[in-house]
Amino acid sequence: MRPIDVTNAIEQIGESRAIIAVRIGVPVNTLKAWENGLKNPRGRAAKALATWSAEVSRDRQASEAGYPACSWVESWQNEKFDPGNFDVVERRFKELENHVEACVECKDRKAYFEQHFPDAVKSEGRAFPFLFGIFLKMPKPLRPPIIGAAALVAIVAIPSSLFVIISILSNLNQAFQILGEWLWVVGMAAGFGASGGVVYAFVRPATRSLGVVGDYITGIGSTFGYVVALLWGMPYLDATEEPTDFGDSSTWMLIAFMSVLFGIVVTASVKRAKRKEQARAA
């Protein structure tokens, strides 16, 4: 984006620079630097600014054509909620889905957008990405294990992928062996992550009503699942590792210590990140 594009986007949106900066996740001074040509707009924040401006432009054109946003949808969009609470997210999007299917105004507006902006991704009628839609249709007990597996796969696979590529290029005759070993490690990581998710699925319903204390109990319990799975699986990752003796009391003391320590640290980090996100959205 050029400086003039940034200024035009800000004017198109019609909000103050302070509000726009908060919404796209940059300091207001950075936004001003974009306008003045002192910094080059890039990354997710610049994309968010361009997307927001384009959506406002399309909305304005639709309204001028006689297809204004439905008042119910506007109220739904302005409602504050906790994006980390999947029960709330599921309820909100099901409400939107049911409303759009029944609302004549929304159907007409959707038809207008499909005719005039076929490539635009709109929130009305297509309120969430395809994969997230599939996720919401899954049975609730399956969701935490899937999230846990995906999280650990990302943590393990992304940083190690470059090393694997370099190793394969350096030893082409052992490419299949290297790739197979890497996939085995990634698969084990998915299993470890799913284990923590299974514990979460069982513990969270009972601790949700306990507030902050329940959050930390859930974090400790989920970490317990990760640690047990990790200690059990280590010999499968490294043949030199001795199998963990789960009959030894010191093993369970170690598991308890690691679960409490990392459970508290991770839960505190997640809660801090959520507070920052809520403060930005306020």
- On the 0-12 / 13-18 / 19+ scale of CB atoms within 10 A, 220 is buried
Q: Which of 3, 27, 1, 23 shows the shortest CA–CA distance to 13? A: 23
pLDDT for 281 equals 46
Domains, the chain, in order of start with CATH, read: 1-64 (1.10.260.40), 82-137 (no CATH), 140-281 (no CATH)
* CA gap 126, 100 in Å, rounded: 9
* Contact (Cβ atoms closer than 8 angstroms) between residue 69 and residue 126: no
Q: pLDDT per residue over 86-124, tens digit each?
A: 667 777 777 887 888 888 888 888 888 888 887 764 444
User: Amino acid identity, residue 116?
Assistant: H
* 3-class secondary-structure state, position 278: helix
Q: Rounded to whole angstroms, how far apart are CA atoms 27 and 43? A: 14
Q: Is the pTM of this model over 0.75?
A: no
CA 222 to chain centre: 18
Nearest to 106 by CA among 127, 91, 120, 90: 127
The one-character DSSP state at 275 is H
pLDDT at 121: 45
What is the C-alpha to C-alpha distance for residues 145 and 190, in angstroms, rounded to an integer? 9
Report in angstroms the alpha-carbon separations of 110 from 56, 151, 196.
15, 35, 41
Q: Of 72, 78, 65, 74, which is closest to residue 117 (Cα–Cα)?
A: 65
pLDDT at 122: 45
Range list of H helices, 65-174: 71-78, 86-102, 104-116, 130-137, 143-170
Q: How far apart are CA 273 and CA 276, in angstroms?
A: 5
What gap in Å lies between CA 73 and CA 79, rounded to an integer? 10
Q: Which residues of the chain have pLDDT under 50?
A: 121-128, 281-282
